[in-house]
Amino acid sequence: MKKLLKHMRGYEKECVLGPLFKLFEATLELLVPLVVAALIDKGIAGGDRPFVLRMALLLVLFGAVGLFFSAIAQFFAAKAAVGFVTRIRSVLFSHIQSLSYTENDTLGTSTLIARITGDTAQVQSGVNLFLRLLLRSPFVVFGATIMAFFVDVRSALWFAAVIPLLSVVVFGVMLVSMPLYKKVQQRLDRLLRATRENLSGTRVLRAFTEEDGEIRRFEERNDALTKEHVHVGKISALLNPVTYILINLAIIALIYTGALRVELGLLTQGEVIALYNYMSQILVEIIKLANMIIQITKALASAKRIEAILKTENSQKKGKETTPAEGSEAIRFEAVSFTYPGAKEPSLSDISFSVGRGETLGIIGGTGSGKSTLAQLIGGFYDATEGSVTVLGRDVKDYDASALCKFIGTVPQKSVLFRGSIRDNMQLGAKDATDEQIMEAISIAQAAEIVRDKGGLDYEISQGAKNLSGGQRQRLSIARALVLKPEILVFDDSSSALDFATEAALRRDLNKLPATTTKVIISQRAGTLTEADKILVLDDGRIVGIGTANELLESCAVFREIYESQFGEKEGGKNEENQ
């Protein structure tokens, strides 16, 4: 918790004033039974109407002042809780953004979303209750007991007897239910993960008509969560009836004892009512205290989960270099192997090749051959398990992360555009890019027609870019990378949704880029790579061929098989010329 509590700095005043005003309110509440006793014994019994009126006004005054104190306490408690959690949420989000792909893969998106939403909300609720009730409830319980001894010592012995019994019941139920609440939270996390997967994959589920199966699985998880809730609810439900039984038995004994002492003239009727009120206050506050402790327990569990994320360190250690080194090579892989966290087999094994500045490298291979993994190693998104990756004369580990991103423009396999205008998305990596520069990149990416049809750069893209087609998203993603004017462009199968004519026009315009721009093009289409200076053929994470298209047709069976499956053996030359 120390890692989180430091974010409470600056709210010391609120943390003091919140409980303090609650104590002021509680003090007034403890005085109310004495005022009622005086009203009964002196006012009503004596027929003194002015006294009754004064006591009634005093009770109204206590209520108004108590409400004022309570509102002030709530304000300070809420301010501290909301401010504290706002800082935690901000720090947590920043920390998540700083984590590498490895940590994101290990932790999982659903877990990170749950931590920054549900868990922070639990912490906020726990802090709020802590500041409002931690001092108030014990103060009222012990204060009511002490006040009862001031009223009548013999009758107050019932308080001394019932409070330990109530404490055993309340804290016994609490100790049993707390571990069960943790299980409920775990089941809720699993349900949230399943829900997120279903929402993100709804198109796939509908394509395979799996709605009924997913509904059934969701209902099973939901039923398991409900049963766990009901189980812990039954245990927690024992709290009220058992405490009410104990307190009512104590009240019966108190009234019986009080009646006898009233008859003997040792106690007044007003004092009996005061003792009864103190007993009721104790009951209410002990139940409040129990609920507060359960809520704080949930908050502490959430805080530990948040702290675990904050303790997770980025496994990638980047350097401080911000400029490339001199040399003719843009990219060099030396005996590179890579294994994803938790995987048994490497995704890439013993990869070695080099690409000169201004050259175009094509990468092709079957599904799962490691093409996208290789692209992510170039961008420094993962560190190689073995070997070294050199970009523009320096090891990618030596670069400052933000500087490396300026040198390499990556267009991922899955096009991701953010909610906002087209201009906002184009300026994602180049905040100072002008409209002319943006339109130049959009024109090269064959997306000028899209912008024109949508009414310009101010067109609002919806969340997930649902108002754009797959091809439109891909072209705008390519344009976004071009706006950076990087020295290396990596296209990870980023033209798969484009027709052949649009793709050919894109390749033609990409050739207009500065001669020093190095291009890495990953594609499933052999025709897309025929103009590349060299083509890398991957199979099961290994290089099985490297060379030009013509050389690979002669020497590489894997490339020849891919090429002939797309063009046909006899039509290969003709199609190649058309490209």
**Among candidates 141, 329, 166, which has minimal Cα distance to 242?**
166
Residue 330 has pLDDT above 70, yes or no: yes
Confidence of residue 569 (pLDDT cuts 50, 70, 90): low
- Confidence (pLDDT) at 331: 92
- Confidence (pLDDT) at 65: 95
Residue 181 has pLDDT above 80, yes or no: no
pTM of the model: 0.75
Helix (H) or strand (E) holding 257: helix 239-263
Report how far residue 167's alpha carbon sits from residue 148's, in angstroms, rounded to the nearest whole number.
18
CA distances from 488 to 1, 202, 374, 408 (A): 44, 36, 14, 5
Which is more confidently placed, 316 or 558?
A: 558
Residue 37 has pLDDT above 60, yes or no: yes
Report how far residue 217's alpha carbon sits from residue 305's, in angstroms, rounded to the nearest whole number.
27
Confidence of residue 574 (pLDDT cuts 50, 70, 90): very low
Residue 570 has pLDDT above 50, yes or no: no
- Kindly state the percentage of the chain with pLDDT values over 90: 30
Least confident of 164-173, 303-312, 327-336, 501-510: 164-173
Report how far residue 45's alpha carbon sits from residue 27's, in angstroms, rounded to the nearest whole number.
27
Least confident of 14-18, 104-108, 212-216: 104-108
- Confidence (pLDDT) at 428: 87
Burial annotation 512-546 (CB, 10 A radius, 16+ → b, else e): eeeeebbbbbbbbbbbbbbbbebbbbbbbbbbbbb
Supply the Cα-derived Rg of the chain in whole angstroms. Answer: 36
Q: What is the mean pLDDT of residues 137-160?
A: 84
Confidence of residue 1 (pLDDT cuts 50, 70, 90): low
**Among candidates 467, 478, 470, which has minimal Cα distance to 441?**
478
Highest averaged pLDDT of the listed ranges 123-127, 196-200, 208-212, 300-304: 123-127
CA distances from 522 to 198, 355, 363, 496, 515 (A): 30, 14, 5, 10, 20
- Confidence (pLDDT) at 461: 92
Report how far residue 124's alpha carbon sits from residue 339's, in angstroms, rounded to the nearest whole number.
40
Which is more confidently placed, 164 or 178?
A: 164
Residue 577 has pLDDT above 60, yes or no: no
- Confidence (pLDDT) at 63: 92
Residue 322 has pLDDT above 50, yes or no: yes
Report how far residue 445's alpha carbon sits from residue 491's, in angstroms, rounded to the nearest whole number.
12
Residue 553 has pLDDT above 80, yes or no: yes
Strand 348-356 to 329-338 pairing:
antiparallel
Report how far residue 204's alpha carbon sits from residue 198's, in angstroms, rounded to the nearest whole number.
9
CA angle centred on 48, ends 45 and 50, rounded to 5°: 140
- Confidence (pLDDT) at 512: 84
C-alpha 391: how far from chain center: 33
Residue 568 has pLDDT above 80, yes or no: no
Which tokens go with 296?
Answer: 């704080």
Q: What is the mean pLDDT of residues 539-560?
A: 90
Q: What is the mean pLDDT of residues 41-55?
A: 86
pLDDT tens per residue across span 370-402: 898 999 899 888 889 999 999 998 888 888 888
Q: What domains are there in the chain, each with its CATH number?
A: 2-311 (1.20.1560.10), 329-578 (3.40.50.300)
Which is more confidently placed, 74 or 344?
A: 74
3-class DSSP state of 2: helix
Confidence of residue 62 (pLDDT cuts 50, 70, 90): very high
pLDDT tens per residue across span 444-488: 999 999 999 988 999 999 988 888 888 899 999 999 999 989 999
- Confidence (pLDDT) at 282: 82
C-alpha 574: how far from chain center: 54
What is the average pLDDT score of the chain? 86
Q: What is the mean pLDDT of residues 19-27?
A: 92
First to last CA, the chain: 62
pLDDT tens per residue across span 406-424: 889 888 888 889 999 999 9
- Confidence (pLDDT) at 123: 92
